[in-house]
């Protein structure tokens, strides 16, 4: 009498075989072009043919999660009505890069404390009305919470100082992570010890920290796609958009920085990443320090 194969074992074997076949499969040129055109149109991110292998590897997890046999099937789904409603946000999460850390680019914080904040304060910003600052492309929240710590410290010796922070990103998944405001200890290594003690709460096992409520209450998170014709509810006094547009082509960058200027008050400040440049762009700004500009 022959023994029948355990159904669960057989299903596992089939799933493993399917997964191995998927790993060995390749994305066709037609599918890659459809994906790259979509990514550049909707996200502004350049996706040249040299990125095909990268895109292929990033999509594999989604194909496995959906139980799909190959990239053509996934492509057809993404461009279907159901895919537009249910999969596009997952695709955005897979494609976008979220690299950040606390107190990134230290010179910017010196410029904030010694030039930008004193100049705005002298004009009554933060006193007669709250200082408004926007972290554009906030990723998992390290930048807006760093801003919160810097502004809290600066305002501690200035009676009546007040501020609000708007933090935006295109990824709903990364925004949810930022709102949690929970980080592993290795993520906060660059935070000065006095700030850790004052603004971070340790978990019982001391493996995680949570940002204090005094910071969380100052930051509002919102999803925003730079490719849309957006207009913020309030113009900003300071905008941080650092190492976000490096994935865009030059013409898209100029359009985007003009959008930022349209949402920045005259006399307000724009901070960009040290790997970025506004050289040759027609913008209503003047440079006040490397990668720091003031709205005219």
The answer to whether 248 touches 217, Cβ cutoff 8 Å, is no
Tokens of 283: 């913008």
Residue 170, judged by CB atoms within 10 A of its CB (0-12, 13-18, 19+), counts as: buried
d(CA 293, CA 146) in angstroms, rounded, equals: 20
**pLDDT tens sequence across 119-168:** 999 999 999 899 999 999 999 999 999 999 999 999 999 999 999 999 99
The answer to whether 34 touches 71, Cβ cutoff 8 Å, is no
The structure's pTM equals 0.84
d(CA 108, CA 146) in angstroms, rounded, equals: 11
Which whole-number Å values give the CA distances from 57 to 79, 171, 290, in the listed order? 19, 19, 37
Strand partners, 271: 240, 292
**pLDDT tens sequence across 222-270:** 999 999 999 999 999 999 999 888 888 899 999 999 999 999 999 999 9
In angstroms, how far is CA 178 from the centroid of its own chain?
A: 10
């Amino acid at each position: 009498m022959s023994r029948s194969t355990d159904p669960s074992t057989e299903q596992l074997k089939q799933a493993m075989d399917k997964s191995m076949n998927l790993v060995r499969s390749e994305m066709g040129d037609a599918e890659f072009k459809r994906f790259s055109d979509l990514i550049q149109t909707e996200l502004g991110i350049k996706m040249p043919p040299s990125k095909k292998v990268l895109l292929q590897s990033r999509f594999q997890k989604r194909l496995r999660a959906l139980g799909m046999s190959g990239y053509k099937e996934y492509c057809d789904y993404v461009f279907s009505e159901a895919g537009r409603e249910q999969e596009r946000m997952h695709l955005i999460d897979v494609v976008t890069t979220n690299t950040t850390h606390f107190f990134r680019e230290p010179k910017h914080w010196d410029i904030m404390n010694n030039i930008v904040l004193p100049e705005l304060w002298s004009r009554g910003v933060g006193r007669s009305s709250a200082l408004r600052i926007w972290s554009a492309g906030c990723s998992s929240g390290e930048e807006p919470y760093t801003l919160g710590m810097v502004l809290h410290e600066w305002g501690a010796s200035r009676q009546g100082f007040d501020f609000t922070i708007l933090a935006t990103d295109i990824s709903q998944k990364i925004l949810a992570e930022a709102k949690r405001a929970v980080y592993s200890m290795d993520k906060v290594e660059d935070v000065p010890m006095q700030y850790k003690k004052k603004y971070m709460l340790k978990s019982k096992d001391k493996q995680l920290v949570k940002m204090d409520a005094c910071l969380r209450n100052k930051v509002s998170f919102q999803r925003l796609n730079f490719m849309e014709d957006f207009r913020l509810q309030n113009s900003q006094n300071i905008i941080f958009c650092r190492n976000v547009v490096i994935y865009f082509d030059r013409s898209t960058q100029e359009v985007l920085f003009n959008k930022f200027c349209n949402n920045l008050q005259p006399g307000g400040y724009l901070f960009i990443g040290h790997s970025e440049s506004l050289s040759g762009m027609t913008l209503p700004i003047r440079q006040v320090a490397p990668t720091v500009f003031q709205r005219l």
